[in-house]
Structure 1
């Protein structure tokens, strides 16, 4: 992962380009482990630091040569000012010594920095000097805090005393001071007042990171024992400046300083408070974390929409400190890489699915903007040429056997130390002849030695001149060689130009082919979309056809049931009609028999009329004889009080097809609403319901059923009827045979007999068979003479 994700960003950093690398995923998915690693297996961060210092190690400037200006820029100091500042910082007790971090290194940190393969960037500018600065911040509850401040306190955990009990927060805890975001003169965002530490090795840089990592906000949740409660950002800033024309010192020009930075971000994981069991402060932290991640997703979606649709919607960077800090990266001021961490637990399926969809979305966002580096104007290879010249000069002087300029004073000094000492020049006696001659001799010796020194110096000077002359000759010959090489270079440049033209032609052809490939891919995508659409429509139609077939089968079964019911009803109707026709034929036969009896009585001698027997059948129609019908007293219809006549209000449902039977006793419901078709309005006003149903019984008579029920209000505001009782009413006719009518026309006895017959009625009230909750009434039986 480091080779494919982080290594290209480190290469861009050393070549003066910015980079952003962040980990994204659900809580507990391994983001911090991926970024930091473990002893013996370093993560992306320690490997990146190791690669940076492996690449720029020989070309690092001395400490404090580069100095921050607190405005996201860099200044260059000379060697004297840098030395004075080093001494001042080392003597200042309030500032820790820079070497203290290197004196005592944690072995675990050393194991994390070590890697199996030493990565190194190719093409490092040897004519520049480099310096690395590290800053470490965290974004907690949408506030920015510096983790490298010496007085930084833990904002979550209370302090603990020696007895194991927490101290009071208001007496021991001082809230840390949050930092603000500002924009520099190049419109780049930076954290104002953030501490930047200059480091000279990967171990020192990682130790600075580890010191801030211990102050990061973490907490124990149900899903993660050490859950990050904040977004942490390690900013590695690389300052580089070119050397002067001689290749010895750094060019003192602020405009020639190039500053590039690599941001390594460990985002806090998204989480659901229902699963983590968070309460109080943890709920607020989780809400701020989820809100910042949602704003990051929104910014990516709008960037993708602007890219695909050509729109210019404003990206809401300022809604969150995370997106506001990295606004320039999303606008194209550097490369952005995201590492998606996934936990294969089944409980995290839904959240992991959202993370993968966001990762798929970010792959389609491409915003590129080139960053031009300043050009110093000097020829390249200055450092190498200066070092090579010094080595060659030293070699030539060694071959000649003469001292170099720096060795001449040392030879002279050694010869001065070899001079004889001067004798004492004190004269104690005017006749002393020894002191002065001795002094004169010593002076002669010293003069001789001085002359020898002058000769040696002249010889050294002559040798130096000859050496310089030889060097000039060598330079002339080298210039001739250089001219020849320049001629060859011109030829090579022509070949290169031709190759470049050929490459441009091939690139244009490649772009044309890529354009065609894009068109073919888009066409393929359209065809695939059409194929998916048609396949979906086909599946939909198949499902619809299956539903129609199932509906058809259900309809066939229903129609078979309806046909069976209709066949059964028609069979009953046919039986009823056959019974009715048989009864009608019997009545016609009975009428004919009666007429024959009357004719027989007329033709035969008349005898005293007899009272007709009660067993005679009652004719269905009156006789057509001309005998007058006796006048009888009209009988007032009597009504039977129905069991439905209570205090409740009834809906009396009598269909329009109901027949009036004309019997004497009729069921009457006084407190009722009579309807032919039930309606919701009528049911809402009543408590009980009765339905009058008529059908032909097996004996041919019409049977009436009163089906009763209670009106119940439903939850939806309507009414429903629950049937609880059935009352059955029947009519029975009993006829008696008659031997004939008196022939003399005496209607007095016949009239009495007719009235007696017509008014003699027997009402039988007996309990019917138990039909569940209902009961049965046997109605009225009438008997009368023909």
Structure 2
């Protein structure tokens, strides 16, 4: 079986009752009467189980303009006229009866400050509350069957041990010889009320069905929970018997307890998984008066304070615990069994909770404010536990109940897990000032009724003296009947003839010659003697008969002793077998616990892996769906883009074809026009050469740059000849001196940009590489490196770094750079620049006007700057007009 983990630490499962029946928490409501100076009431008792709350006149109405009225139902509602005895009969008496019959119980009062919780629990003289009446009922029921003091003894682990009469006597003597601490009365403390003044004799009650073949003992303890710390109210003040503190009269007194703060107690768990206060004082009491005296002694130590709402406001939760120890008697019916396993301990907890309060009303400050905060926090934890229990039962969830958040809930968590009945008395004050807080209390109390607590299982007591009282009484009756049949006395204590003795006559002698009185006296005495003799004989007969019966009983007892001895020997053997079985069972239980622990670990690991698997599956499905959607969207986009590309391609094909045709026609027309102009110009030049030097044409203000459409591939013409009649010819291009039979390594990085210019370097017999290679260097004689950078004017500047490949002594190759060529391209956008003829002319050194150049020469002008060294590089080929390219 796998136990589910409910928290960070593994929680032990509660003991399961024998039956699956559950009982709801019994919630009762008690309405306190109004004070003399209070007139307005906000609570009205409608029936025996329903009350109604209506807002007072000072509060605002709801949205409909009416005051909201709410009704709450409980198991029973007690009005202002209900007495204490009626409340006890309905609420506490069933719990006391269950305590006597071996079941636990929890009863606590709940409400706001000043609602009558302490009065309901304790009461006052003449009107005893639930606590003194519960004590009275317990001792009225088990008083005749109580064991002697110290026969039952606590083991400091929430259990009980038993000891024989001799050990108990020695314990009593030792306790009596201890130095007692005298009480020092204080004028500040109230006088202790007598128990006889609390309950009237006619109101005493008694439980039915008390087991007469068992022995009982009652232990009480009294604790308080203050600021979430547990303090023992019955703990005695420290006393040193060796060096006591003496007062002026020579009497030892208590130490000053005001300077010694009380030590807080801790909660522990016993072997039955029940919570208890470790080190708490448990006092064995033998009467109701003694128990009430112990209670009042602790009550005087309880922390109370004067607030704006209550003159004696409780600043802590008080818990009065009544433990009833029960053990069966032995076969003789004289002593209890000395077997700890046969001792049962049940307890009834009477809890007086501190009242919830608002600091805005009490105006608490300092320590009072901290006390109020801790009280409200503990009550809030109690509400949270009830809410979680209700949610787990109604919704089928398995949330962890936060019992450990507060000491009051941690102490009583076993009751909510099925260790006993739970009862709650909700006290309310009907005054108008407490309406809002009473509304919250009613909601919490009504919700508490929906929580079901498992019904505790009956705990039978197995003893050897079952029916001892009835058998002894039957034996006495049978003995008396046999004596009567044989002529014995009718009375069991007095012989039958004692009541038939003749009376003595008057013995007074009035005359010395009186002969009547003495003979009559002698006769009466003789008669009484005869009767006495007859009584002696009857007595002897009865004694003989009793002796015979006793002998028969002895013989039967001897036979029974023999039988018991045989059975004891058999029982010893069985006990050995049982012991072996128990050891084997313990071993198997340890193994089972170990296996369960391993199963728990594996189950947790499996749950983690399953959770990860589920999360990954969900994530995988989500990503798959998203990927599917993206693929569908991508296919749709591809189809759409393909259609758009096709349409655009067809459109631009048609447009390009149309433009090309138009451009061809336009260029043909322009060429025809230019040819005509050139012919006319040639004719004019020829005519002017023959007749004389012609006048220069008028200077243009600014030559127009030809458009992109006008740029047609054309070869660069050389400078005009100085002879006027010479025809312009194209000079030969001078190639670089490096263009020989050598092999070149053309190292051009992959990051180089194509400039698309008309002048491109051509290197014959070159091996193009993008990275240096030793293998390539070994095959070549020359080396050129192409380097590009941005010039100051924003154009791209290309540098050709040239060198020679030489052999090294180690058998490798090295490059020695000898020349650098810089290539720049410029585009003319303004007027024609001045140009000097590369060849000598008569007009060298003089400026030429723009009219000296034709439009064709202007359009084909290219600026080329070159720094040549001793060894020129490769040549250049004219491919067309340059194009402007931005870096």
Q: Which has the higher contact order (CA 8 A, sep 6+)?
A: 2
Q: TM-score, normalised by structure 2?
A: 0.43
Structure richer in helix, relative to its length? 1
